């Protein structure tokens, strides 16, 4: 594998591990994920339509 592939593999691994950690440590959901619009749309339009089927874990 080339050096670029190793870098991409490392970054992807870090992303996966951090996502798993956030899920299992019961960290709050980031605000931009509570909206139906993408983060880019939220930045330019300043609107947020709340998701109806957002699963909120209460432990």
The candidate with the shortest Cα–Cα distance to 53, out of 31, 35, 27, is 35
Q: Are 49 and 32 in contact (CB under 8 A)?
A: no
Q: Determine if the pTM surpasses 0.75.
A: no
Domains of the chain, residue spans: 3-45
Residue 26 neighbours by CB under 8 Å, 6+ apart: 57, 59
Share of the chain above pLDDT 70, in %: 88
- What pLDDT is recorded for position 9? 96
pLDDT of 36-49, one tens digit each?
Answer: 888 888 889 888 88
Tell me which residue of 24, 28, 26 sits closest to 16, measured CA to CA.
Answer: 24
């Amino acid at each position: 594998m080339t050096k670029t592939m190793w870098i991409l593999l490392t970054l992807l691994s870090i992303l996966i591990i951090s996502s798993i950690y956030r899920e299992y440590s019961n960290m709050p959901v980031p605000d931009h994920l509570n909206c139906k619009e993408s983060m880019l749309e939220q930045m330019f339009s300043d609107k947020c339509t709340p998701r109806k089927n957002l699963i909120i874990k209460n432990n």
